[in-house]
Structures are given as structure tokens and as C-alpha cells.
Amino acid sequence: MAATLFDTKPGGVLQGRSGAPAASPTLEDRLCGEVLRKLRLACESVPEDRETICEEVFSDITGALDSFAREVLGSTGRLSFYEILADYYLTHWSAADQLLAICRRIWGQPFVAAIYTLLLHQWLLESRDAGGAEQRQKHLNVLVSGARQLFWIDVHASTLRFRPLYHYTFQRLKLRQDSIILDLLPATARTALVTLIACFMPYYVEAQDMPEAVGHFPSPDPTLHSDQRSSRDGDFLFSQITDTLRAIGGEPGLLRYIKSLAGLKSCRQLKSIRTVTQLRLQAELYSLSSPGGPRYTSRPVRHAALHTLDSLFPSGRTSRHVVALLFRLLHPLEWPASVAAATRRWYLGVQGRVFRAAAAIAAFLWMLWCWLCSRVAGLWTRR
């Protein structure tokens, strides 16, 4: 691959011509200029080279900030170049308009929607006039398409590179008394964005934060400053989660998704949804906890799914375990692996208890020895 656009070595984009760090007010301008230059080059290139150039731009803007780049940019907490540039485009409308115009010329390229989403998501969500009111629906559709593509990249690769994009979108779409962004969106775009947030919530939100996130989940219906949460909103959220759970194939991403769902065991919204929605979620988790088809999940996934199923729906726990045991008896080829796993868990549990008991005894003996030494030293001093 070609050298990165955002070269942090002396003489690169992050440095001035003399080798000293560039002035802060013009630094983001230079980064933005490099992005526009490469994309213009892509527009003028043949189709074979166009995809390669767009891929390079995507790789550059998603690159991690090294220590030098953090120092020059004054970045606190931000990890990637696209986070820096998204803030820049939010306040520089002319640069955002130029980038949008270039992206329109090469919509068909695989990486353009992702680049467009990473760099312009703040600009598009913050203002209803961004890109022109008559084209707003189309721009938001491309935003949703690019964000979905990026989130699936994270899920399949088991990474969190685009979690800042998810969290920003979720925070801006919350139904709060001081936010009406949802109500400024076209109805179709509103539903698409809320669907996107619902699908990837368990992947990007930690298990302990899931109840709060579900409580702040925005309604897909056009409700203005409504404090009442309807059961339809819960049905919508958990239906999208169930559909996404069925679509995830990679084990690491699936494990993270399932374990995060276990944090909803105390969520009141889960208890208020329709029975059919609960049954769909139970059925999907149960299929993941069963050996064999149709999912053919690994042992860690099965154990995580069964734990999440017991946490969310404890009423049928005993019957599920009995049925799981009976089905396990129908797969004799897995008996050795099951016995080995059970033996390992037992050994680790016993080993942990023995270690803790030995540590407690050693601590007691050490304290006793110190006390005896102090007593003997006191008696010796008196003599």
C-alpha cells in the first residue's frame, strides 16, 4: 500500500516544512486538503485505480493516532483521524460541501459511502440544511448505508474501531428534552437511523450499561418530547436485536453480542414487550445454545447463549437444562468433549478454592509468627 496521507514523520502532513509542528489553526486544513486531493485524483483515474485510491483514503482516515500525532493535534481521548476530521467538517461548511460534491461523483465505489459517513456524519446530523434540504433524504440514506457497512466490519473483525461513530449517533438521536434532532429528520431517514442504532446496540454498549441504553432508546415514531415509552418501541428494539443476532456469523463478535444481552436481566422494557417478541428472542438464543444445526455454534457460544437465556428468562431455566441434557445424550460424539470440559471446570474450581484456603492459612501462620516474634522480643527485652 502507498505511504499514508497523514504522515507523522518529519516533513509529513503533520509537520511544517521546517520540521517543526504545524500551527494548530491550519493543521486540520492540511489534513482535509490531503483527503480532497486524493479523492479528486480518484475521480480523474481509471476505474481500476479509482477503487485502490479510495481504499487508501479509507485506510488513512481510520488509522490510529500515534503519540506524535496526539501531541501535535492536542487529541484527548480520540483514537483515529476520522474523529479529528469529523469535528473539523462540522464547523467548516465549505470544506464539507467540497467533500460532498466529490463523493457524489464516485458514489458507486465500495469505500466512498464509508468515507462519506466517517467524515460527514456530524455535519449531516447537526443541521437540516447540510447538503441541501431537497437532497437530505438521499444523503441520510447514504449515511445509514455507510454506517451499517462500517459496523458490520467491526462485528466480523471483532474490533471497536467505529464505536465513536456509533456512540455519537446514539447520543444525538436520544429523545431528550433539549434535543429535537430526530424531529428534524425525514420520517424514512428517522426509521432507518433508529433501526441502525437498535441493531448494533448490544455490540457497542457494555452489558452493565444496556438497561440505561434501552431506557433512552429513541422511538421510531415521530414523537416530540414524549416521556412515555410505549411497548411498541420495545418490540421494535428487540425485534431488530433478534434479527441481527441471527445474522452474525463470526464467533468473537457473536460472543460479545450475546454477553452484552445478559445485562438486560433487570430491564423492565424486556418484560413489557409482546409475547411473540419474547418468544422470538428466546428461540434465537435457544438455537445458539443447542449443539448441531442450524447454527452449529462452538462451545463458548453455546454456554454464553444459555447463560444469557437463563438471565433474561429465568422462569424456564430448569426445563431448558433438562432438554439440553437430553439433546446432549443424542450426540454421543460430543460426550468426550463435554466430560473433558466439565472435568476442567471442576478442576479449576477446586484448584481456586484450594489456593484461596492455602493463602488464608499462610496469612494466618504469618500473623501468628509475627505475634510470637514480638512476644519473644518483649520478654527478651525485659530480661
Residue 198 in contact with residue 241, Cβ under 8 Å?
Answer: yes
Residue type, 276: V
Closest CA to 297 of 260, 334, 329: 334
Closest CA to 135 of 96, 100, 183, 111: 100
Residue 181: pLDDT band (50, 70, 90) is low
Q: Distances from the Cα of 375 to the Cαs of 362, 366, 383, in angstroms?
A: 20, 14, 13
Q: Who has greater pLDDT, 198 or 187?
A: 198
281-308 burial, b at 16+ Cβ within 10 Å, e below that, comes to bbebbbbbbbbeeebebeeebbbbbbeb
Residue 225: pLDDT band (50, 70, 90) is very low
Q: Who has greater pLDDT, 7 or 162?
A: 162
Torsion of CA 151, 156, 160, 165, to 10 degrees: -10
Give the predicted TM-score (pTM) of the model. Answer: 0.80
Does residue 372 belong to any structural domain of this protein?
Answer: yes
Residue type, 367: M
Residue 267 in contact with residue 214, Cβ under 8 Å?
Answer: yes
Does residue 351 belong to any structural domain of this protein?
Answer: yes
Arithmetic mean of pLDDT, 81-89:
91
User: What is the per-residue pLDDT for 223?
Assistant: 55
Whether the predicted pLDDT of 20 surpasses 50: no
Q: What is the residue range of 372's domain?
A: 332-383
Does residue 229 belong to any structural domain of this protein?
Answer: no
pLDDT tens digits, one per residue of 35-64:
999 999 999 988 889 999 999 999 999 988
Q: Who has greater pLDDT, 332 or 103?
A: 103
User: What is the per-residue pLDDT for 285?
Assistant: 94
Does residue 343 belong to any structural domain of this protein?
Answer: yes
Cα 335 to chain centroid distance, Å, stands at 36
Percent of the chain that is helix, strand, coil (3-state, to 5):
75, 0, 25
Does residue 376 belong to any structural domain of this protein?
Answer: yes
Residue 4: pLDDT band (50, 70, 90) is low
Arithmetic mean of pLDDT, 191-203:
94
Closest CA to 38 of 65, 20, 56: 56
Q: How far apart are CA 162 and CA 269, in angstroms?
A: 27
Does residue 340 belong to any structural domain of this protein?
Answer: yes
DSSP secondary structure, 126-151, as one string? H-TTTT-GGGHHHHHHHHHHHHHHHH
Q: How far apart are CA 222 and CA 219, in angstroms?
A: 7
Closest CA to 95 of 75, 123, 69: 123
Number of structural domains in the chain = 1
Strand partners, 80: 64
Question: Residue 333 burial (CB < 10 Å; 0-12/13-18/19+)?
Answer: exposed
Residue 247 CB-half CA count within 13 A: 11
Closest CA to 199 of 157, 230, 170, 168: 170
3 state SS of 9:
coil
pLDDT tens digits, one per residue of 289-340:
887 778 888 889 988 999 999 999 988 778 877 777 776 777 676 667 767 7
Does residue 252 belong to any structural domain of this protein?
Answer: no
Does residue 353 belong to any structural domain of this protein?
Answer: yes
